[in-house]
Amino acid sequence: MSEVRRAEHPFHMYAAIQAQPDAFARIVERNETAVDDFAAGMSDCERLFIIGIGTSFHAARVGEHLLRVYGGGLDVRVMHSFDFALYGPPLGPGDCVVAASHRGSKRYTAAALARAREAGCRTALITGEGGSGMGSAGTVFTTVAQEKSSAHTVSYTGSVAVLALLAGSIGRHRTGEDTLPGDLLREEIPAALRGALGTGETVGTLAREHVGRRRIWLAGGGPSAVTAEETALKIKETSYLQAEGMSAETLMHGPFQCVEDDDLFVLAAPSGAARDRTLEVADLASEIGAPCVIVSDDAAGLPQNAASILVPPVPEPFTALTCLLPLQFFTYHLALARGTNPDSFRAEDPRFARADVSGRL
């Protein structure tokens, strides 16, 4: 993280959230040719593994959804870098490994890429500008300048932008057709992200209203389950509140028994296969007496007793970004209401400075 720290709003995290629409468009333009060249060389591979850690692992999981929809039937699998490096499956020259890492320096992502190279796999790294892992993969795709906040936001969107490009390029090489229209990436998604930024004021009010909740439960399905987990991670990183993110179905199978009426539910429920099931969680929360906030791209059928945040409609895999932006704002405003620094990873606390978790990554 940069040595230049901010001690009040707007923190670096706020600027990074605001930068995402333009960053998405810029990253697509920057990487289009290189991604297509890489896709041409690996579109007939036997398996594509996408790996990462933390927020980068969440980006990898969104990438899996993108590849399933737009990748022309390629066998794509996502693994955590730690598991891939230490327990991963047998690899061969017919496999391809793409890693996402904000700075390119995480120990187990580097070990995973080394393992892939030794097995003769084609490899690529998605990382920020000036990342330290530039030599760890055969191909490198760059996203944005290194973030000044430890709560990564714009670099997450950057990784998803590259993975979307990769999905469309692979799909075209495998099928001979445009499975993902270029205008969707260059124009429609950035425009939708700009629309999602317009929720900031409403979300800030909700964050201040609910900052005192005992626990925040976040849920969704498919790409939105990833959004729930990523938002929970950001809440933990920035305001140190108790937050649990998971799929709606997982929540119903046991964790719901831990709910109390002073908890808050946040549901990502855009149009898609999991929407109806996710909205059932709002009914359950109502029975317990816990309030609910719903982020969606469709107002139809939303419960009247829940607070709703509407974002522009996009194809379901991309709702992992449009529904995330309001929740990044929610996370940010929770930190402001709590009086914590969302940029610092708690480094101003001597105990956490001594623990130096970042130094072990």
Query: pTM of the predicted model, to two decimals?
Result: 0.96
- Other beta carbons less than 10 A from residue 305's beta carbon: 11
Residue 194 has pLDDT above 50, yes or no: yes
Task: For residue 146, give the DSSP letter.
Answer: P
What pLDDT is attached to residue 1?
43
User: 142, 172, 195 — which closes off a domain?
Assistant: 195
Average pLDDT over residues 91-103: 96
Residue of higher predicted confidence among 156 and 3: 156
d(CA 76, CA 245): 24
d(CA 349, CA 112): 33
Average pLDDT over residues 288-317: 97
- Other beta carbons less than 10 A from residue 253's beta carbon: 11
What pLDDT is attached to residue 134?
66
Distance of CA 137 to the CA centre of its chain: 22
**Taking a C-beta distance cutoff of 8 angstroms, is the pair 62, 160 a contact?**
yes
Residue 5 has pLDDT above 90, yes or no: no
Rg (CA), the chain: 20
**Residue 27 sits in which domain range?**
12-195
User: 180, 195, 210 — which closes off a domain?
Assistant: 195
Residue 260 has pLDDT above 60, yes or no: yes
Decide if 316 is inside a domain: yes
Confidence of residue 2 (pLDDT cuts 50, 70, 90): very low
**Taking a C-beta distance cutoff of 8 angstroms, is the pair 180, 164 a contact?**
yes
**Contacts (Cβ under 8 Å, ≥6 apart) of 198:** none
Q: Are residues 16 and 163 in the same domain?
A: yes
Residue type, 201: E
The CATH number covering residue 263 comes to 3.40.50.10490
CA dihedral 272, 71, 126, 156 (to 10 degrees): -10
Decide if 328 is inside a domain: yes
d(CA 244, CA 256): 11
Q: Are residues 220 and 104 in the same domain?
A: no
Decide if 139 is inside a domain: yes
Confidence of residue 105 (pLDDT cuts 50, 70, 90): confident
Residue 87 has pLDDT above 80, yes or no: yes
Q: Are residues 169 and 263 in the same domain?
A: no
What pLDDT is attached to residue 202?
96
d(CA 23, CA 126): 15
Task: For residue 357, give the DSSP letter.
Answer: G
d(CA 246, CA 229): 6
Residue 172 φ/ψ, nearest 5 degrees: -65, -40
Q: Are residues 51 and 38 in the same domain?
A: yes
- What domain count does the chain have? 2
Q: Tokens 């290194």 correspond to what residue?
A: 146
Mean of pLDDT over the chain? 95
**Taking a C-beta distance cutoff of 8 angstroms, is the pair 39, 166 a contact?**
yes
Residue 89 φ/ψ, nearest 5 degrees: -70, 165
